[in-house]
């Protein structure tokens, strides 16, 4: 991780805060780099996370486009009503007849687009439309795509691009110079290829924001030859190492003090106090790097915090990933 951070063009920012701005008022506009999208269970909408380079803030906004989780099927509305139990059927919000191009058979097919209140109704654990319709012999499409990926694709969003967020929705702030367009035209004489290059060149020419970041790695007191189980999180966390773009190296150590050159060592007699300080340190950075952090480091840290009745914020464990509420997590 040392080499990674020393070669990144990220400089430390003096002030960094995280706010939940809701959605802009009628006259308010903000600019921000789109960092990530995730599903907000409370509001049953997609939530978009941005970084404001002027205010040095992470802020979020809820989707107002009316986008819903959905699947496509060759089952009719009558077939779906007959197949789905009433409690699941009541989570359906709309049926829409759509025509799609079947690339394998090279023909148009008529399908039903089924929209639901939440992603779990489409393809979650337990009873869901995807499995029930498939078991009944119907074909189902686009039901295994994570909702946040589906949302990004359907809305034509590009994470990492600067957007203007206002009452009229999201507007990408993209500038492409004539020289850049000429470069794209010289790469290929094929008109379709040139058109594709013109459509993506703005992504590569966009300026990257300066964001502070940290890496984190935890060590657990497991017996030799054993792997700690995240679901149980029985064994204590004995060491947490972090290195950030401010040039700081920190080790949070449970036990006696040690001396390591160019490293700040913080020692603890209490694991709970160690965990509190680590969570606080994580919340200072909008980008957190881990190796296998989705499956181990972050959920283990959160579950150990819960054993001490400590709020694991900013860590939020979801079914398929772990979210950092104060920024984004790159695993």
Convert the pLDDT of each residue in 62-107 to its tens digit.
Answer: 999 999 999 999 999 999 999 999 999 999 999 999 999 999 999 9
Q: What per-residue confidence (pLDDT) applies to 168?
A: 83
- Report yes or no on 3 lying in a domain: no
pLDDT of residue 173 exceeding 50, the answer is yes
Residue 100 belongs to domain spanning? 70-149
Q: Is 89:122 a contact under the CB 8 Å cutoff?
A: no
In a domain? residue 76? yes
Tokens of 47: 């939530």
Residue 124's pLDDT is 83
pTM beyond cutoff 0.85? no
Q: 219 and 277: one domain?
A: yes
Calpha distance 269→171 (Å, rounded):
51
Q: Are 192 and 232 in a shared domain?
A: no
- Same domain, residue pair 204 and 223: no
Q: What is the mean pLDDT of the chain?
A: 87
29 lies in the same domain as 144: no
Q: Are 168 and 138 contained in the same domain?
A: no
Domain shared by 204 and 237, yes or no: no
pLDDT in tens, 249-289: 999 999 887 888 899 999 999 999 999 999 999 999 989 99
DSSP state at residue 271: H
Q: In what order do the strands lie in the sheet with 287-289?
A: 264-268, 249-254, 237-244, 213-220, 287-289, 328-330
**CATH number for the domain harbouring residue 250:** 3.30.420.10
Question: Can you give the pLDDT at residue 248?
Answer: 96
Distance from CA of residue 232 to its chain's centroid? 25
48 and 166 share one domain:
yes
Domain shared by 204 and 244, yes or no: no
Same domain, 141 and 273: no
The three state secondary structure string of 201-264 is HHHHHCCCCCCCEEEEEEEECCCCCCCCCCCCCCCCEEEEEEEECCCCEEEEEECCCCCCCCCE
For 23-48, write each residue's pLDDT tens digit: 555 567 899 999 999 999 899 999 99
Q: Report if residue 128 sits inside a domain.
A: yes
Residue 304 maps to a domain:
yes
Specify whether 166 is located in the same domain as 51.
yes
Tokens of 71: 């699947």
Give the percent of the chain with pLDDT over 90. 62
Q: Is residue 245 part of a domain?
A: yes
Q: 105 and 250: one domain?
A: no
Res 29: pLDDT: 87
Interval 237-246: pLDDT, tens: 999 999 999 9
Question: In terms of domains, do 125 and 196 share one?
Answer: no
> Does 103 map to a domain?
yes
The answer to which of 137-151, 166-180, 302-316 has the lowest mean pLDDT is 166-180
Strand residues in the chain grouped as ranges (E): 17-20, 30-40, 45-52, 57-62, 70-73, 92-102, 107-116, 140-141, 162-166, 169-172, 213-220, 237-244, 249-254, 264-268, 287-289, 315-317, 322-324, 328-330
Domains held by the chain: number:
4
Q: Is residue 2, in this structure, part of any structural domain at all?
A: no
250 domain residue, yes or no: yes
């Amino acid at each position: 991780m040392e080499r990674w951070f020393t070669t990144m063009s990220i400089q430390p920012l003096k002030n960094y805060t995280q706010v939940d701005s809701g959605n802009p008022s009628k006259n308010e506009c903000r600019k921000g780099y789109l960092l990530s999208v995730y599903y907000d269970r409370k509001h049953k909408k997609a939530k978009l996370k941005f970084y404001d380079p002027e205010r040095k803030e992470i802020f979020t906004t809820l989707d107002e486009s009316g986008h819903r989780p959905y699947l496509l099927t060759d089952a009719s509305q009558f077939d779906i009503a007959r197949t789905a139990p009433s409690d699941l059927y009541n989570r359906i919000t709309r049926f829409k007849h759509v025509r799609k191009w079947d690339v394998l058979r090279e023909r148009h097919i008529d399908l039903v687009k089924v929209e639901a209140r939440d992603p779990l109704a489409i393809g979650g654990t337990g009873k869901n439309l995807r499995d029930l319709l498939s078991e009944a012999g119907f074909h189902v499409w686009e039901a295994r795509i994570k909702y946040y990926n589906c949302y990004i694709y359907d809305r034509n969003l590009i994470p990492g691009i600067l957007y203007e967020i206002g009452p009229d929705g999201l507007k990408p702030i993209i500038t492409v110079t004539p020289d850049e367009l000429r470069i794209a035209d010289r790469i290929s004489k094929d008109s379709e290829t040139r058109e594709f290059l013109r459509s993506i060149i703005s992504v590569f020419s966009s300026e990257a924001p300066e964001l502070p970041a940290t890496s984190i790695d935890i060590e657990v007191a497991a017996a030799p030859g054993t792997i700690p189980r995240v679901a149980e999180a029985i064994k204590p966390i004995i060491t947490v190492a972090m290195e950030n773009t401010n040039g700081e190296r920190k080790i949070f150590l449970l036990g006696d003090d040690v001396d390591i050159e160019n490293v700040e060592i913080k020692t603890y007699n209490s694991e709970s106090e160690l965990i509190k300080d680590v969570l606080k340190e994580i919340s200072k950075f909008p980008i957190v790097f881990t190796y296998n952090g989705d499956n181990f480091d972050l959920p283990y840290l959160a579950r150990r915090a819960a054993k001490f009745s400590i709020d694991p914020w900013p860590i939020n464990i979801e079914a398929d990933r772990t979210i950092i509420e104060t920024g984004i997590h790159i695993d």
